[in-house]
Chains A and B, each alone.
Chain A
C-alpha cells in the first residue's frame, strides 16, 4: 500500500473508534457498570453481543466506555505534553546560550529514566487516579516535543524568512507563532501520533497494575487484568479489550509512519515510550 492509502485507512479506522467512544452512551446496550450476577461469564447473546464478564456486566458496553477513558487520556496527554514541550523547545531553540543549556539538562534528567518506570513510580506515590496518570505521562511526554521543536527552531532561527520577519519588526513570540510553528506542524503531527500511541499503552499498563482508573469505571487495561483470572473458562474477557487497544495503537503508529514517509521520503521509527 502507498503511504497515502495507509494514512487514509488508519485515519478512517481511528475516526470510527473515536466516534464510537463519543457515542458510547447511545451505542452501549447496557450501563457499563450494571451488574447481572445470575449471568456471570455468559457467552454472547442477542442482548449481549460480546457476552458478559465475571460480574455479569455487558462486555460491549464496557469496551465502548473503556475507549472513552483510553482515548481521552491519550488526547489529554498529547495536548498538554505537546503544548509544554513546544513552549520549552521554542524558548530553548530561539534563546540559545545558557537558557538552552539549562532547559536541555532538564530534558536529560527526564530521559535518564525509563519512561514507564517514572510513570509507575509517580502514580504509586501520588495515589491511583486518572488525573495522576495524565500528570505523570505529561511530565514524561513533553521531552520528545521539546527536543523536536528545539532542534527545528534553532535551525529556522537563522533562515532567511525568519531574518526578514525580524527585520520588519516582528518580535520573537510572533515570529515563532507565525513563521516557525507552521513549518513544524507536520513534524509535530507525526510526534503527536506516536506519543498518543505511547500514552495509551502506558495508561493501559498503569490501569492493568491497578494504578489508573478505579473500578467500577471501565478501562481496557483493568479489563485485561480482571479477565486474566478466566483465561480457561472465558478467554474473551482478557482478549477483547487488549485487541481493541492493539488496533487503535497500531492505527496511530501506521498513521505516524505514513505521514513521516510522505514528509521526509523515509519512514519514521515508531518510538516506544522512552
Chain B
C-alpha cells in the first residue's frame, strides 16, 4: 500500500506542474496589455511602467515563467494589486470558510444520497428508486445561482429558520451547503444505486444470504463496501467541482471564502489574486483525486495489484 501511495503521489506531480503552467499562461491571454487593462486607458505612462516592472512583465517570458515557478516553491504567489497584501495570505485567510462550505455540502450530499441510493438499489422501481431518479434529475438541472435565492426565500425569509447571508456561526453554512450539495447528491445517488445494484446481483451476496446473514446485513456489510470505490472516486472528482461551484454559491450568500475573493478580484482586474485562487482550487482538485485513488485502493486491494505491473 505504501509503495502504491508513493507511486501515485509521484504521478500527481507532473499534473500539478501542468496546472501551474496553465495558470501562469492565464495572464498572457489577456487581450492587449494586461497592465493597461488593470490601470485603465488613461493611466500615466510612469505608473504603467512601474506596475509592469512590479509584475515582472518587462522580463523575457522564460524568465517570468522561472520566477513564477520559483515563487510557487516558496508559496509566494505575488501580491494583490489593490491592497498590496500577499496573495498567499489572502488565500490562507479565506480558505477555511470555503473548506467548511465544501465539506458541509459533501456531508449533506452523502446524507441524502447514501440512504436513498441504498434503498433504491434494494428495490428497483420502488418509491425510493423514483425519489432517487428525481433527485438525480434535479441535481443535474437546477442551477446553484437560482437554487440559492429559492432556498433563501423559503427557509430564510418565509420560515425565518436560518441566516441568509454572511458567516454568523454554524447555522449560516446550512443554506449555502444545501445549495452546493444538491447537485453532488444527484450524481452520488445514481452512482450508489448503480454500483450497489451490480454488487447485489453477485454470487457472494447469495452465499451470504444462504449462510443466514440478514438481507440488510448482506447489503450494508458486504455489498456496500465493494460498491464504494466508484462512489469514492466520484466524491473526489466532485470535490473539485464543489470548489469551483463555491465561486458562484459564495457570491449568492456573501460567504467570505476564496470564491468571493475571486469574483471581487475579477471585478477589480486584480489578476494576481485571480491566478492565486485558480491555482489554489486546481491544486486542491489534483490533491482530491490523489486522495480518492488512495482511498479506493485501501477499500479494494485489487486496484493496488492492477497498477503494480
List chain A positions with a Cβ less than 8 A from chain B: 108-109, 112-118, 120-122, 124-127, 197, 201, 204-205, 208-211, 221, 224-225, 227-228, 231-232, 235, 238-239, 241-243, 245-246, 249-250, 253-254, 269-274
Known contacts A121-B278, A125-B274, A231-B157: A112-B18 contact under CB 8 Å: yes
Contacts of B83 in A (CB 8 A): none
C-alpha gap A239/B153 in the complex (Å): 10
CB–CB B143/A204 < 8 A: yes
Q: How far is the CB of B143 from chain A (nearest CB, A)?
A: 5
A231/B153 in contact, CB under 8 A: yes
| Interface: B145 (CB within 8 A) | yes
Q: Please indicate the chain A residues that have their CB under 8 angstroms from the CB of B286 in the complex.
A: 112
Consensus secondary structure, chain B interface: helix
Binary flags per residue of B175-205, CB closer than 8 Å to A gives 1, else 0: 0000000010011001100100000000000
Contact A205 B278, CB 8 Å, known A125-B30, A270-B140: no
- Say what secondary structure dominates the interface of chain A: helix
Which B residues from 234 to 281 make CB contacts under 8 A with A? 237-238, 240-241, 243-245, 247-248, 251-252, 262-263, 266-267, 271, 274, 278, 281
* Given A117-B240, A121-B278, A242-B146: 15 more A-B contacts, CB < 8 Å: A112-B19, A113-B282, A114-B240, A117-B243, A120-B262, A125-B26, A228-B149, A231-B157, A253-B140, A269-B190, A269-B191, A269-B194, A270-B137, A270-B141, A272-B187
**B140 touching A113, Cβ below 8 Å:** no
| Structural contact, A253 and B146, CB atoms closer than 8 A | no
Contact B263 A209 (CB under 8 A): yes
Beta-carbon contact of A114 and B241 below 8 Å: yes
| Residues on the A chain within 8 Å of B245, using CB | 116
> Would A121 and B137 count as touching, CB distance under 8 A?
no
Check if B281 sits within 8 Å of A109, measured CB to CB. Answer: no
| Complex Cα spacing A270 to B153, Å | 28
Contact in complex: A225, B153 (CB < 8 Å): no
Complex Cα spacing A254 to B141, Å: 10
